[in-house]
Amino acid sequence: MIYSLSTRLLNICIASLCKIQKLDRAEAVIIDAIRLGYIPDVVTYNTLISAYSRFVGVDEAYSVLHRMREAGIKPDVITYNSLIAGASRNCQPSRSLDLFEEMHHNGILPDTWSYNTLMHCFFKVGQPEEAYKIFCDMELRNITPCVTTYNTIINGLCKTGNAIKALRLFRDLKRQGFAPSIVTYNTLIDGLCKSRKSRLAGGVLRELGKSGCTRDLKTCTTVMKCCFRSGNFDRGFEIFSDMRKEGCAFDSFVYCTVISALAKLGKIKEAYERMEEMMKDGVRLDMVCYNTFINVYCKQGEMSLAHQLLNEVQGCGLQSDEYTHAILIHGFCKLGDIDSAMAHLERRPAESNLVASNCLIYGLFKVGRADFALKLFNELSIKDGFTYTIMLHGLCKCGRYLAAFDILMTCLSNRVKISSSAKRAVCIGLRESGFRKEERKLRSAIRLARLLVS
C-alpha cells in the first residue's frame, strides 16, 4: 500500500516533468527515487518513453527502454505503441515494422492501437496499399477495429487524394451500423473541402447536424478555412464572429486561419488587432503562428519587423522552416528587392523549397530579369502548376508569347493545372502580336483539355 502510493507519487512527478519537456530531469528523478526506496513501475517508464519519442526522437526513447529493462521492468504493449507512434511521426514505416516484429518476438501482442498507428504511418508516407495490408492482417488476427481505425483509414484516403473513396467508405460503414464520431465528420469535411468537393462537404456537415455528435472547435476551423479557400471570405468571417458570440475560446488554429485570410485580403489593420487579441488570450505561439505573423509584416512591406520577429523565434528555441523562408523571399520579391531574396535563398537550398523558388522566379520577372528567371526555371528539377503559371505570366509581361505558347502547350498535354488568367494572357498576347495560327492551336488545345478533364 505504501509502495503503491509512493509509486503513484513518483509517476505524477514524472508526468509533470515530461509535460514541460524536462526529460533529463525526469530520468534523474527516477534514479534518485530508486535510491530513496521508491519503486518505479511500467507506467513510470512508459511516460518517459512516450515523451522522448514525442519530443526528442525514437532512438532516445529506445535507449530508455534498455534502462527500463536494467531496472528490472518489462515493457508492455503501451511501451511499444509509444515507440511505434514516434517512428510514425517521423515517417519511418520500416522502423515501425521493426518495432512491431520486436514486440512479437518479446511475446507482447500488438493491439488495436498498434495497428492503427502502423496504418497511419503508411498512409502518411503515401502508401495506402501497405496500409490496407495492415488492415487485412488485423482482421486475420482477430483484432477488432475501432472508430479510430476507420477514422485513420478515412483520413488516410483523403490525404492520399481519394476523398471520394473516403466518402464511399463512410457511407458503406454507416449502412453496416458504424457510429461515426466527431473526428470522423471533421476528417471527412476537411478532406472533401481540400479536394474541392465543397458541395459534398456541405452535405456531410448537414449530416453531422442531424447526428448525435456535437460540432467542436475543429469543425468550425475546418469549415471557416473551407470558406476562405473557396473565396467565400464573408461567410468565413461570419463563422468567426458566430464563434465569438457563442463564447468560444479561440486557439492558435482559429487565430492563424483568420489572420491569414485577413492578410490575403490586405486587411492589415484587422490582422494586427487579431494578433493583439491572440497575445492577450495567452495563446502559446508555435512556428505556424510566427509564420503567420511574419507574413502579415511582409504583406505590409515591413521587412525589418519581419526579420526582428525571425530573430525572436530563434531566441525561444523554435526552428524556422520552409514556410518562413518562402514567406520572407516572397516579401522581398514583392518589393522588388531581388538581392535580399537571393541572399536569403542562398542560405537554404533552393531545390528543397519549391515555393521559394517559384517566388524568386516571379521576383526576377518583376524586375525585368527574364533570362535569369528562365535559367532558374530550367534548373529546377521539380516544378508544379504554380511554377508554370508564374512563368507564363512573366513571359507574357515581357512579350515572349511564343515561349509562353510552347510551355503552355506542354502543360496542357501533361495535365498541369494552370490558372485561367495565365491561359488568357497567353491567348491575348499571341493574338495582339499577330501569331494567329498559334492562338488558334492554343484555344482548341484548351477546349480539348477542358473536355477531357471533366
Query: Which of positions 378-417 make contact with DNA (CB under 7 A)?
Result: 384-387, 389-390, 393, 417
Q: Using the rule CB under 7 A, is 92 a contact of DNA?
A: no
Q: Looking at beta carbons only, is 9 or 440 nearer to DNA? A: 9
Q: Using the rule CB under 7 A, is 264 a contact of DNA?
A: yes
Judged by CB under 7 A, the stretch of 31-39, 92-100, 162-170, 282-290 that binds DNA is 282-290
Please say whether the dihedral angle defined by the alpha carbons of residues 288, 292, 294 and 298, taken in this order, is positive or negative.
positive
Judged by CB under 7 A, the stretch of 179-187, 197-205, 431-439, 444-452 that binds DNA is 179-187
Q: Looking at beta carbons only, is 206 or 440 nearer to DNA? A: 206
Which residue in 222, 267, 344, 373 binds DNA (CB under 7 A)? 222
Q: Using the rule CB under 7 A, is 11 a contact of DNA?
A: no
Q: How far apart are CA 361 and CA 369, in angstroms?
A: 9
Q: Looking at beta carbons only, is 160 or 387 nearer to DNA? A: 387
Q: Using the rule CB under 7 A, is 96 a contact of DNA?
A: no
Q: Using the rule CB under 7 A, is 182 a contact of DNA?
A: yes
Binders of DNA among residues 105 to 134 (CB under 7 A) are 111-114, 116-117, 120
Placement of cell 476537411 in the chain: 190
Q: Using the rule CB under 7 A, is 14 a contact of DNA?
A: no
Q: Looking at beta carbons only, is 114 or 198 nearer to DNA? A: 114
Q: How far apart are CA 322 and CA 291, in angstroms?
A: 10
Which residue in 240, 323, 377, 401 binds DNA (CB under 7 A)? 323
Which residue in 218, 267, 344, 400 binds DNA (CB under 7 A)? 218
CB of 97 to DNA, least distance (A): 16
Q: Looking at beta carbons only, is 12 or 434 nearer to DNA? A: 12
CB of 441 to DNA, least distance (A): 22
CB of 35 to DNA, least distance (A): 25
Which residue in 44, 96, 151, 160 binds DNA (CB under 7 A)? 151
CB of 37 to DNA, least distance (A): 25
